[in-house]
Structure 1
Amino acid sequence: MPENNTSSAYGLEAWCSRRKEWTTADESIVQEKRTSSPALHLNDDQKISTYHSLILERRSFSRPIPLGAVVDIVVHGWKQNGTWPTDEQAPL
C-alpha cells in the first residue's frame, strides 16, 4: 500500500507540535518553582537525611520537586552507603 506523503508529513508535523507543547515548560512557572523549592537548597547532611526518609523509610515529599533534585539526593545517598561506583561521575 503506497504511503501518502502529504498525510505522513501532516502526521509528523502534528506529532512534533504536540510534543513541543508537552515538553516545553512555561518559563514563569519554572522560575517560580525553582526559587520556591526547598529541595534545591539542601546541604550534604540534609540530602543524606532526605535520602534516608525517602528510600529507607519509604516516605514521600509533601509536594512535587524537580527530578534533578531527586537524582542529586539519591546519588548522595548511594555514595554515602557505598552503592555508587567510586569511578563514576554523577549526572549534572
Structure 2
Amino acid sequence: MDYSVPQSQLSASSTSNAAGDAQGPSEFVNHGLLLWNQTRQQWIGDKASDHNKKARQPVISWNATYDNLLGTNKPFSRPIPLPEMVSFLVDIWEQEGLYD
C-alpha cells in the first residue's frame, strides 16, 4: 500500500484483497478527490506567496461607500480578495446597525 496517499483516497477494497485476484490487488484511486484537492490548491494558492499579498495596498479605497462600490453592475478594475470584501461589508453593516 502506498502510505504517501492519504487514507481517504483509498477504498476498503484497496486495503485488502478479499476477492483473491490472480493479478494482484489494484489500488482504488479516487479521481474526484484528487481533482477536488488540485482545484482547492489552485483556489487557496501557495502559502509562500501570502507574504507578498499582505504587502499589497487594499483594493477597496478607505473612503469607498456601499453605493459607489456595489451600486453599479460594472466589474471591478481588479479582483477584490474575499477577506477584504467581507471586512468592508461588516464595517458598513456595523455603521448601519445591521451587524451585531
Q: Is the 8 A contact 2:59 2:78 kept in 1?
A: no
Q: CA deviation at 1:80?
A: 1.1
Q: Counterpart in 1 of 2:7? A: none
> When the two structures are superposed, what TM-score results if normalisation uses the length of structure 1?
0.55
Aligned residues: 75
Kindly indicate whether structure 1 or structure 2 has the higher relative contact order, using CA contacts under 8 Å at least 6 residues apart.
1
Gaps spanning 5+ residues in structure 1: where?
Answer: 87-92
2:47 pairs with one of 27, 30, 35: 27
Q: How does 1:8-87 map to 2 (within 5 A)?
A: 9-11=28-30, 14-24=31-41, 25-39=45-59, 46=62, 49-56=64-71, 60-84=75-99, 86=100
Q: Which residue identity does 2:33 align to in structure 1?
A: C
> When the two structures are superposed, what TM-score results if normalisation uses the length of structure 2?
0.52
Q: Is the 8 A contact 1:39 1:65 kept in 2?
A: yes
Gaps spanning 5+ residues in structure 2: where?
Answer: 1-12, 15-25
Task: Tell me the distance in 2 between the aligned counterparts of 1:82 and 1:56.
Answer: 20
Structure number with the higher helix fraction is 1
Decide whether aligned partners of structure 1 residues 50 and 35 sit closer, same or farther in structure 2, where only a CA change above 3 A counts.
Answer: farther
Aligned-residue sequence identity (percent) comes to 26
Would you identify which runs of 4 or more consecutive aligned residues in structure 1 move more than 4 Å?
A: 57-60
Q: CA deviation at 1:22?
A: 1.4
Q: CA deviation at 1:58?
A: 5.5
CA RMSD between the two structures: 3.2
Q: Which has the larger radius of gyration?
A: 2
